[in-house]
Amino acid sequence: MPTALVILPEGFEEMEAVAPVDLLRRAGVEVTVAALADSIHVTGRNEITIHASTPLSAVGDRLFDLLFLPGGPGVKHLREDPRVRSIVLAHHAADRWLAAICAAPTVLHDAGLLFGRRYTAHCSVAHELSAILGDERVVADGRILTSRGAGTACEFGIHLVEKLISPEKAREIAAAICA
């Protein structure tokens, strides 16, 4: 069974986290939702509190098939935490899938992984990402997958299923949710 790690900081964008996690789980992916802080209860930007699977500190050095970073104002916490950079670089070095939506591609940028690549992100971070493909909803470049924001969360989740499982499974999940 493929595995995925989702890291949730306080202030994450709820739609960007929940929709892809839901779609990945429908496809049979074992998704671990890790809270960046020590509490497993993480409150998003719209005051919706999510019960994470575990605190990030308990994940250790485990590698997953997919590392997914949702966006929102909480991305600043992802960028400030050196553990996140280490996890991103470890997954990249192991040739695992890296996925980021909204402002979260800045985390990949900070780690030096977007240079010379095609990517998209939310328009609010375009000033930091000089090569952003601002009109693209979902962009894949090698093992790096990026998306624009809350409005592309379901499409992005289906794309993650396609890459992690198969195009057939992605079509099956899309049909099941009338996408």
pLDDT at 179 over 90: no
Mean pLDDT, the chain, integer? 97
Give the pLDDT confidence of 20-42 residue by residue, as tens digits.
999 999 999 999 999 999 999 99
CA gyration radius, the chain: 15
Give the pLDDT confidence of 51-78 residue by residue, as tens digits.
999 999 999 999 999 999 999 999 999 9
pTM for the structure as a whole? 0.97
pLDDT-derived band at 46, boundaries 50, 70, 90: very high
Domains and CATH numbers, the chain: 3-176 (3.40.50.880)
Instruction: Tell me the average pLDDT across 90-94.
Output: 98
From the list 102, 123, 154, 178, the catalytic residue is 102
Which helix (H) or strand (E) segment holds residue 77: the answer is helix 75-80
Measured distance CA(149)–CA(167) in Å, rounded: 22
> Which conformational region is residue 51 in: left (phi greater than 0), alpha (psi within -120 to 50 degrees), or beta?
beta
102 is a catalytic site residue: yes
pLDDT-derived band at 103, boundaries 50, 70, 90: very high
